[in-house]
Amino acid sequence: MTARLSAVVDGPDDAPVLVLGPSLGTDTGLFDAQAAEFAGDFRVVRYDLRGHGGSEVVPGPCTMADLAADVVALLDRLGVDRFSYAGVSIGGAIGQQLALTVPERLEKLAIIASAAQFADPPSWTARAQQVREQGTETLVGSRTGTWFTAAWAEQHPDEALRLLQMLRDTPDEGYAACCEAIGDFDVRDRLGQITMPTLVVAGAEDPATPPDMVRLIADGIPGAQFLVVTGAGHLPNTTDPETVNAALRGHLA
Ligand SMILES: O=C(O)CC1=CCC(=O)O1
């Protein structure tokens, strides 16, 4: 079943479309810095994952194919045919899935802090159960050190709180269902089928998808470029927007 996604659209109606896919437990606000940078010359579509932000909650497990189908349904509703796509973490996994299932619609792809298979797949079922029983609040403390370094959080306390509030605001069932999609995801054998120009970005201090794991995506996609962002954790687009925006700008040109 397709979920109805909420989205924020910025930029001229007739500009090339850039779709931005968020990470687990965040919302469209994850991409404030990218919307500010690119809405002058792109129609920027930021969406909420199913069960996150303002999107519909669909109870029960789902797959990455379901999450990609949600995005396709949103773009059909917005009248978007071809688009470029950049996604963080699960948003990057959705990008890989889109590249495999609707390649004729995808112009350029950027995959940030993501994986072709995430670490320790069974742990995602356990995390889903933990969140269904105890809520997303139980994960907030450990996101410092994962999403961003403790040093960055000390220097940017308001921005760290803003990001963590997204996790607090995420419905437990929405978060849990996306955990199950992450645990089930594995496209390692299919990366060679991705044909559009691809940029792959890792955070040097990311414990969730460390650079060596992210690099495997770039190694598998013919011609993909690979960049490591110094000092960044799992959300390099928020903690070092200048570096990530410059890389995206060059890639999308
Ligand atoms: O666990 C986290 O918060 C990091 C993460 C893994 C997949 C995703 O989208 O975020």
> What are the distances in angstroms from CA 251 to CA 187, 189, 238?
23, 25, 18
pLDDT tens digits, residue range 155-177?
A: 999 999 999 999 999 999 999 99
Q: How far does residue 225's CA lie from ligand 1's centre (Å)?
A: 22
pLDDT tens digits, residue range 37-77?
A: 999 999 999 999 999 999 999 998 999 999 999 999 999 99
Q: In terms of Cα–Cα distance, which of 175, 85, 194 is closest to 129?
A: 175
User: Ligand 1 atom closest to Cα of 91?
Assistant: 9
pLDDT tens digits, residue range 194-228?
A: 999 999 999 999 999 999 999 999 999 999 999 99
Rounded CA gap, 16 and 5, in Å?
21
- The fold of the 7-252 domain, in CATH, is Rossmann fold (3.40.50)
Strand stretches in the chain, DSSP E = 7-10, 17-21, 43-47, 83-88, 106-112, 198-203, 225-229
User: Ligand 1 atom closest to Cα of 167?
Assistant: 3
Residues framing ligand 1 (Cβ under 6 A): 23-25, 89-90, 143, 146, 182, 208, 234
User: Ligand 1 atom closest to Cα of 88?
Assistant: 9
Please say whether the beta carbons of 175 and 52 come within 8 A.
yes
Q: What is the pLDDT of residue 1?
A: 85
In the predicted structure, residue 14 carries a pLDDT above the cut 90: yes
Q: How far does residue 23's CA lie from ligand 1's centre (Å)?
A: 6
Average pLDDT over residues 25-34: 98
Which residue is listed with tokens 């999450």? Answer: 67
Q: Where are the domains of the chain?
A: 7-252
Average pLDDT over residues 12-33: 98
What percent of the chain has a predicted confidence (pLDDT) above 70? Answer: 100
